[in-house]
Amino acid sequence: MKHTQKKELYIRQDALTDQLFDEHSIFLDIETTGFSPASSYVYLIGCAVRSGKYIYAHQFFAENTTEEQQILSAFLELLETYDTIISFNGVGFDVPYLKAKCDFYELQESFKEKTYLDIFKSVSDLKFLLRLPNYKQKTIEKFLGIGRDDTQTGGELINVYREYIHHPSEEAEGLLHLHNYEDVIHMIDILPILSYMEIFNGQYTILSTRIDSYHAFDGTDGQELIITMQNDFPVPKRISLKQDSFYLMISKARTSIRVPVFDGELHYFYPNYKDYYYLPEEDMAVHKSVATYVDKDYRENAHASNCYTRKSGAFLPQYESIMQPEFREGYKDKISYFELTDDFCSSDIMIRRYIDHILKYISSPRKNQAFFSK
């Protein structure tokens, strides 16, 4: 068994990486000869830990398959002093694989006592925003502009390791170590991609709200609400996304949301339509206690679709009942509106509630999302 250690200066200064990669966390990546622990071997376990201003990368390498238990034992000893395991698909593969091997060798392990951050699982929640061809680690690295010296895949290296067992060489060992080392180290480098989700988790500060005029491509003029926020955790790249009525632009330090203002007439639908009469001449519903004085020829029992009063003004769209009263164009419309008022624009509480509603709507699975730019 070989245990190698590399030391390098920790120079990453983004706030999210500093928060997630503390001295209680350990990055983990393993190399195996197959997917099933029952019919394959783990031959390399790579880790990275932080101590003060430095990163220490550990690699436990089995020079042949008989040393599998030795590298497991050495890794478990190191793991004991850390609370959080950070990995890329480690919850789905690495940890279950290692646990099965520990069970086979009857090695005492503490995986159940650890907390986990699986970058792959977290990034999968950002598919609506990132729109990458896939969510492999190397694809995310490419998106972030991170280069590699390693050109091999884990699958390609299986044959390299098998050949190494029979004919050890520094070149083969170097290839095996390099791939694992860059997998581990670059997990640190891609942590900032999780900062996008922090915005959707409410990690922002409202900077301003304003109403601006715009001229659309179809020649129409209108107004839009523009909300600007400060990102609590800076993001690595600019991304823009349009979802129905909402346009989202995330830059490194700030996020803005643009929402078109509906200027016109909408309807407020009364919920208990059986208590109302509809007056066709006035195109409105009135309560029966009042409408009893209206001639029967000018009134009729209201239905759900015409039990309304009309309201003209400026409105903002919403896809849940977060602001009251709600207005709609038609009774069965899924989208509703609330009145744009000075009280709304001056209330951080109401603005934040509306922002959270928009971000929730944008991040929920939808079919007709339009990707704009990166």
Per residue in 273-296, pLDDT (tens digit) is 999 999 999 999 999 998 878 888
* pLDDT tens, position by position, 8-34: 999 877 899 999 999 999 999 999 999
Question: What's the confidence (pLDDT) of residue 365?
Answer: 65
* Mean pLDDT, the chain, whole residue set: 93
* pLDDT tens, position by position, 247-260: 999 999 999 999 99
Mean pLDDT of 111-129: 96
Distance CA 198, CA 233 (A): 7
**Do residues 261 and 315 make contact, with C-beta atoms less than 8 angstroms apart?**
yes
Is residue 113's pLDDT more than 70?
Answer: yes
* Cα–Cα–Cα angle for 248, 253, 256, rounded to 5 degrees: 25
* pLDDT tens, position by position, 298-352: 999 999 999 999 999 999 999 999 999 999 999 999 999 999 999 999 999 999 9
**Do residues 68 and 34 make contact, with C-beta atoms less than 8 angstroms apart?**
no
Phi-psi region of 64 (alpha: psi -120 to 50; beta: other; left: phi over 0): beta
Residue ranges, CATH 3.30.420.10, the chain: 2-197
Question: What's the confidence (pLDDT) of residue 370?
Answer: 37
Question: What's the confidence (pLDDT) of residue 291?
Answer: 81
Residue 155, H or E segment: helix 154-166
Identify which has the larger pLDDT, 217 or 44. 44
Question: What's the confidence (pLDDT) of residue 151?
Answer: 87
Per the listing, tokens 């430095």 go with 54
Is residue 221's pLDDT more than 90?
Answer: no
User: What's the whole-model pTM score?
Assistant: 0.87
Question: What's the confidence (pLDDT) of residue 292?
Answer: 78
Is residue 369's pLDDT more than 60?
Answer: no
Question: What's the confidence (pLDDT) of residue 106?
Answer: 97
Crossing angle of helices 154-166 and 170-190, in 10° steps, is: 150
| CATH number assigned to the domain covering 2-197 | 3.30.420.10
Question: What's the confidence (pLDDT) of residue 9?
Answer: 92
Question: What's the confidence (pLDDT) of residue 373?
Answer: 34
Residue 374, H or E segment: none
AA letter at 337: Y
Is residue 170's pLDDT more than 80?
Answer: yes
Cβ neighbors of 81 (< 8 A, separation 6 or more) are none
Token readout for 361 is 């709507």
Kindly list the distances between the CA atom of residue 171 and the CA atoms of 71, 148, 181, 339, in Å, as whole numbers in the listed order: 21, 17, 15, 69
Is residue 123's pLDDT more than 70?
Answer: yes
Is residue 368's pLDDT more than 70?
Answer: no
Mean pLDDT of 353-372: 74
Pairing of strands 84-87, 115-118: parallel
